Amino acid sequence: MTSVVLVLPPGRASALADELEIEGVHVAAIAPPGGVLPLPADIDAVIVAVSRRVMTPEFIAACDRAAVRIVPLGDGDSRLLGRYGLAAPLPADASGWAVARALIADVPEAIASAPQAPHRVTAVWGPAGSPGRSTIAIQLAVELARTGRRTALVDADTVAPSLALLLGLSDDAPGIAAACRRAELGALDSAELTRLASVLETSAGEIDVLGGINRPGRWPELSADRLRSALTACRTWAEETVVDVSGAFDADDEATYDITGPRRHAATVTALQEADAIVAVASADPVGISRFIRDHAELRRLIGTTSSHIVVNRVRPGPLGIDARGQIRRTLERFAGITEVTFLPFDQRAADAALLHARPMADLTPRSALVAAVRRLVSAYTPEGTAAATADSSRGNSRGARRLLRARAAREA
């Protein structure tokens, strides 16, 4: 049973509590406005009247740490809700039925009967200069896992692999190098991939991580044929495979070196050519946009008709003036023919927290504008028929929502 706390005026709280109990929602506590902290243990949501007195930074932070959803009621300050990334409030006089329905609004009615989308490999690429490839790859994996699909994260960067360090995992784990060796011997299957992978526990569920090489000099271990076979095995192992690659291509190597020998950046080219979708990342500054435009033509040559999603990361007015988005959009359209662009905001607080704790941003700052933007990006290219099984704590909580679904199913049975 879903357990909630009501932070409402006494009369309103008492009436709503009775209605929620009828709907199968347990009211663990009723607190007057301003008196909810500390939060009771084992609750799934806080139903609160929109008020600056209640919705303080301390209250929001406490809910984030406990992964507790906030359901606002009333016609309060919309700017206050927007500041914390909260959804539009329910009416102040919303019935218990409406509140209970809102608690499961983001959960599919029949998860098990939803049509299964094909398994997919997504490569995350960006030009040199650290545009944020690895950070976005991690967030993509988390949000794809949030849809209920088994997700794997692969570090195929042969220049500066960093996923293990960013996620607090051992860089001595077997990872993708061992998977490539097993693939060359024809001994790589789902069971072997599970053995070689590290399991990352996140707010969206488990993610299987195949870490990268721990020294750049080991790049020959990720040869084109080996990696191609490994990614083929990943298709049967995970429903979503996100591959982080370096920014360098192999075009110059083919012209100046022996093409029968190992190539320095073969892993990047192979991952891009084998992927079902490409997320191409540019940094929102003059140098980053220039580098992206320069390399985008070569990217298109390599991937052909493969679907690509252009992402401009760290958007802020500083390097480009007030109309940063407009300038970037016009520049990409003029010099690269790109008209569809996704912008990701610059969120230094979320980025610093992720680096400090070696955890995905969605676990530490679930209401970050950057986290929300990546979630929208995932929803834009999630295969049709794949429903979101969970959502962020401001709009849904998988634990509480699933409990409510089970309770409703039991009543209907």
Beta strand residue intervals within 198-346, DSSP E: 198-202, 205-210, 240-244, 277-283, 307-315, 341-345
pLDDT at 1 over 80: no
pLDDT, averaged across the chain: 84
Task: Report the distance separating Cα 62 and Cα 59, nearest Å.
Answer: 5
Does the domain made of 2-107+394-412 have the CATH classification 1.10.10? no
- The three-class DSSP label of residue 79 is helix
- Rg over alpha carbons for the chain, rounded to the nearest Å, is 23
pLDDT of 363: 93
Task: Report the distance separating Cα 224 and Cα 107, nearest Å.
Answer: 41
DSSP one-letter code for 259: T
Does the domain made of 120-381 have the CATH classification 3.40.50.300? yes
pLDDT at 164 over 50: yes
CA dihedral angle for residue 321, residue 325, residue 327, residue 328, rounded to 10 degrees? 120
pLDDT at 125 over 50: yes
Sign of CA dihedral 164, 272, 121, 67: positive
| pLDDT (tens digit per residue) in 267-303 | 999 999 999 999 999 999 999 999 999 999 999 999 9
pTM of the model: 0.69
Average pLDDT over residues 201-207: 93
pLDDT of 114: 41
pLDDT of 385: 43
What pLDDT band is residue 409 in, cutting at 50, 70 and 90?
low
pLDDT at 205 over 80: yes
Q: What residues does CATH 3.40.50.300 cover in the chain?
A: 120-381
pLDDT at 400 over 90: no
